[in-house]
Structure 1
Amino acid sequence: MKIGMISTEFPPAIGGMQVMAFNLAQGLSRRHDLVVYTRRNQGVPAAGLAIEPVLAADIRHDLRPLAAADVDVWLAMNAGYGALAGRLPKPMAVVCNGNDFLTPWVIDYPRQIDFLEGKPHVWRYAHPLRQAWRRRLLRRGLSRAAAVLPISEHSRDLAVRRFGLDGDRTVILHPGVEDRFFQTRTPAAAGSLRLLTVSRLDIHNRRKNVDGVLRAVAELRRGMDIRYTVVGDGNDRPRLEALAGELGIADAVRFTGKLDEAELLAAYREADLFVLAGQASETDVEGFGIVYIEAIAGGVPVLCSRSGGAVDAVRDGETGILIERSDATSIAEGIRRFQAARSGFDPARISAHAEKFRWSAAIDRVDAVLASVLRGGVPRGAAVPVEMPAGAARRADSVGMT
């Protein structure tokens, strides 16, 4: 099978979409003839893979080089490229993450819309019109896609509601976890509660809500011995460090910056609780969050909010704590709840939950979907012969889409 992977988000760039694309590309390339079509001028691409750095992250430009490619089937790792389904000569399966279909960024729009920016009374309509145009093209493309692969139940429900997708062409594809994150961990003795967050600290990525955790630590510190480590870097780090100082908790918070592999694994081993309580909006969501399953693989319980796809990875009271809201008070209450039940979280049991999220399972699923596409194109109304998770099937029933 000749697979063309369309992935503008790819190493050496950093992020969850890049991690997912790279691991799927590696696994599928061991079984099939795979070429990754990725961005131009983004640096040295991942070694060991066939790479075509020809994309401009603009489907108007990218249609031409993709249409000329010698492939049997397409795998689009950014939902925006689903707008090309039916316009390319070969069938396409489309991965839907979250923001890539809520606010698509690779779909062009009529430039006449830009003229509204300088017009009084109507300038405010320019951005909504751009997004409406992009969603219209994406809806048309996804209706022609042979299969749609949301990365969580949350992403699936959003995509079904927004684009009216057929449940029988939709297969949940959870991101995986690399083997190196499966570690032996011994629960810490009673004492300081060690919290950990791993995240990019970017001003455009504030849904990660490190602010909320800092404020929760400030609230808890009055009656609890607590230490908080933030792993990651970005242009929002100075503001967050300043906030820790303003809250009077600078001595309890450590910003490490980016860590190498050994240091990152050590940070997970030393943590008592991984905390990342994202704040979702209608246009900015956490589709899944690979870091959650990385922590769980190492036996570290996770605290997260119900606002995104992390609920697919976290079982409340077993592998972590789920909170309804992501404000500082709710985070603090979740941490108190964990502390009270701390001895009941067994690292071995938590780690065992991550077994089904190994990348091998995700690669098997994509392989099966692409094989189905080639056998018959998975026409509208035909079922993809890949078992849907029970939770996803129940959710699909609840919205009347299966």
Structure 2
Amino acid sequence: MDKTLIVTNDFPPRPGGIQAFLHSMALRLDPSRVVVYASTWKRGREGAEATAAFDAEQPFTVVRDRTTMLLPTARVTRRAVGLLREHGCRAVWFGAAAPLGLMAPALRRAGAERLVATTHGHEAGWAQLPAARQLLRRIGEGTDTLTYLGEYTRSRIAGALTPQAAARMVQLPPGVDEKTFHPGSGGAAVRARLGLTDRPVIVCVSRLVRRKGQDTLIEAMPRVLRAVPDAVLLIVGGGPYRADLEKLAASRGLTDSVRFTGPVEWEELPAHFGAGDVFAMPCRTRRGGLDVEGLGIVYLEASATGLPVVAGDSGGAPDAVLDGETGWVVPGGRPAETADRLVELLRDPALRERMGARGRGWVEEQWRWDLLAGKLRELLAPAG
């Protein structure tokens, strides 16, 4: 692979799923052939120190823009062109197609031979808005390939592109580190620490926002408890919706049956997945389709850990589940349907084991980072 310039507004130490995706992919490319041009995480001494410390640990060159939000302005475009020429890059990977992919024509004129732009959930939202659709069309025309997470995002975004650009789309979802997320990830220790050793555990690992459906799980718990009286819902993560969720649990008299861990360090996440018997995140679509789940990598991380999953039907979440094999897809925002699937799984250890094993196998077959990084290397390779 020739040298690649990665242009992105989403890169660690800024937290988030897109950031983790890009970093994991970058680490699997040849570090001597990667240059990252990214925004600064946040202003101030603390942010600068955290960013500098992170960048110093990377095996590839990281160049930070002075802004905290990288946009395709004339200045940023000139800087990207300068880096392309300075480092002799022949390929460009836009970490998020919109809006940075608008710089593609300028980089092409500067000598880039391959231009790949990755789409996420927000581009699917853009595709519904007239002005944003036009920008997506321009990005599709200016790049060689737009990648997509799954069939949901592909179908939405393709409708905004020219037929030629839509035909060039290639699937490139985030991967799962099957060596980190596995059935022996330390869940027993988490259970013991939380006093849940002898209780059936439904675990939800995600940011606490309305779309994710933690409130649906709480509303489902009374129905679950009538069938499985000692069950507990373990909600892992932080976010702006936590106070509302705690009030909801208290109002339903579920203080002992709904536990909140708060934010958890990344290194501890595999063990928290492993603390569950079942993984559930019944996400739902909001804001008229503008707030949707792009894919839901947590379902695959749960599958890699050997858990059956219960997923909502928002956006691309069903793309991360083999319905009826690795778990079930339920209507988002429907506590009764969610509860019925949870009860079925909690009452049937053989079913949990069968679905968990199928999910683990599926991750190993199709979702490993090394497989997906290989696809990215092929996309970035100049023709001929």
Match of 1:153 in 2: 151
Query: Secondary structure at the residue paired with 2:226?
Result: coil
Distance (Å, rounded) in 1 between the aligned partners of 2:268 and 2:41: 30
Are residue 96 (structure 1) and residue 85 (structure 2) matched?
A: no
**Residue type matched to 1:9 in 2?**
D
Q: CA deviation at 1:305?
A: 2.0
Are residue 321 (structure 1) and residue 300 (structure 2) matched?
A: no
Q: CA deviation at 1:15?
A: 1.4
Match of 2:279 in 1: 274
Match of 1:73 in 2: 91
TM-score of the pair, normalised by structure 1: 0.79
Q: CA deviation at 1:137?
A: 2.0
Distance (Å, rounded) in 2 between the aligned partners of 1:342 and 1:306: 25
**Residue type matched to 1:180 in 2?**
T
CA RMSD of aligned residues (A): 2.5
The answer to whether the Cα contact below 8 Å between 1:321 and 1:338 also exists between their aligned partners in 2 is no
Q: 1:110-160 deviations in whole A, cap 9, x for unaligned?
A: xxxxxxxxxxxxxxxxxx9xx543332221121221011101121111111
Q: Which moved more, 1:359-368 or 1:253-262?
A: 253-262
Distance (Å, rounded) in 2 between the aligned partners of 1:26 and 1:185: 23
Q: CA deviation at 1:332?
A: 1.6
Are residue 305 (structure 1) and residue 315 (structure 2) matched?
A: no
Match of 2:71 in 1: 58
Name which of 252, 255, 262 aligns with 2:257.
Answer: 252
- Aligned CA distance change for structure 1 residues 261 and 187 (closer, same or farther; 3 Å): closer
Q: CA deviation at 1:317?
A: 2.4
**Residue type matched to 1:352 in 2?**
G
**Residue type matched to 1:286 in 2?**
E
The answer to whether the Cα contact below 8 Å between 1:184 and 1:299 also exists between their aligned partners in 2 is no
Name which of 212, 221, 227 aligns with 1:217.
Answer: 221
- Aligned CA distance change for structure 1 residues 337 and 58 (closer, same or farther; 3 Å): same
The answer to whether the Cα contact below 8 Å between 2:284 and 2:331 also exists between their aligned partners in 1 is no
**Residue type matched to 1:266 in 2?**
A
Q: CA deviation at 1:268?
A: 1.8
Query: Secondary structure at the residue paired with 2:158?
Result: helix
- Aligned CA distance change for structure 1 residues 317 and 9 (closer, same or farther; 3 Å): same
- Aligned CA distance change for structure 1 residues 103 and 308 (closer, same or farther; 3 Å): same
Distance (Å, rounded) in 2 between the aligned partners of 1:132 and 1:182: 44
Match of 2:210 in 1: 206
Distance (Å, rounded) in 1 between the aligned partners of 2:116 and 2:186: 42
Q: Percent identity?
A: 29
Q: Write out aligned runs for 1:175-186 (5 A).
A: 175-178=174-177, 179-184=179-184
**Residue type matched to 2:22 in 1?**
A
Distance (Å, rounded) in 2 between the aligned partners of 1:287 and 1:235: 20
- Aligned CA distance change for structure 1 residues 362 and 275 (closer, same or farther; 3 Å): same
Are residue 171 (structure 1) and residue 176 (structure 2) matched?
A: no
Query: Secondary structure at the residue paired with 2:106?
Result: coil
Q: CA deviation at 1:327?
A: 2.1
Query: Secondary structure at the residue paired with 1:375?
Result: coil
Query: Secondary structure at the residue paired with 2:293?
Result: coil
Distance (Å, rounded) in 1 between the aligned partners of 2:137 and 2:15: 28
Distance (Å, rounded) in 1 between the aligned partners of 2:242 and 2:123: 25
Distance (Å, rounded) in 2 between the aligned partners of 1:65 and 1:223: 61
- Aligned CA distance change for structure 1 residues 10 and 35 (closer, same or farther; 3 Å): same
**Residue type matched to 1:310 in 2?**
A
The answer to whether the Cα contact below 8 Å between 2:37 and 2:64 also exists between their aligned partners in 1 is yes
Q: Which moved more, 1:69-78 or 1:82-91?
A: 82-91
The answer to whether the Cα contact below 8 Å between 2:228 and 2:346 also exists between their aligned partners in 1 is no
Distance (Å, rounded) in 2 between the aligned partners of 1:41 and 1:317: 41
**Residue type matched to 1:360 in 2?**
D
Match of 1:194 in 2: 201
The answer to whether the Cα contact below 8 Å between 1:185 and 1:299 also exists between their aligned partners in 2 is no
Query: Secondary structure at the residue paired with 1:67?
Result: helix
Are residue 162 (structure 1) and residue 160 (structure 2) matched?
A: yes
**Residue type matched to 2:120 in 1?**
N
Are residue 349 (structure 1) and residue 361 (structure 2) matched?
A: no
TM-score of the pair, normalised by structure 2: 0.82
Distance (Å, rounded) in 2 between the aligned partners of 1:10 and 1:329: 39
Query: Secondary structure at the residue paired with 1:62?
Result: helix
Query: Secondary structure at the residue paired with 1:87?
Result: helix
**Residue type matched to 2:119 in 1?**
C
Are residue 37 (structure 1) and residue 42 (structure 2) matched?
A: no
Query: Secondary structure at the residue paired with 2:107?
Result: coil
Match of 1:114 in 2: none
- Aligned CA distance change for structure 1 residues 19 and 41 (closer, same or farther; 3 Å): closer
In structure 2, stretches of 5+ residues that fail to align are 189-196
The answer to whether the Cα contact below 8 Å between 2:187 and 2:273 also exists between their aligned partners in 1 is no
Distance (Å, rounded) in 1 between the aligned partners of 2:371 and 2:181: 16
Distance (Å, rounded) in 1 between the aligned partners of 2:170 and 2:130: 26
The answer to whether the Cα contact below 8 Å between 2:187 and 2:272 also exists between their aligned partners in 1 is no
Number of residue pairs the alignment of both structures matches: 344
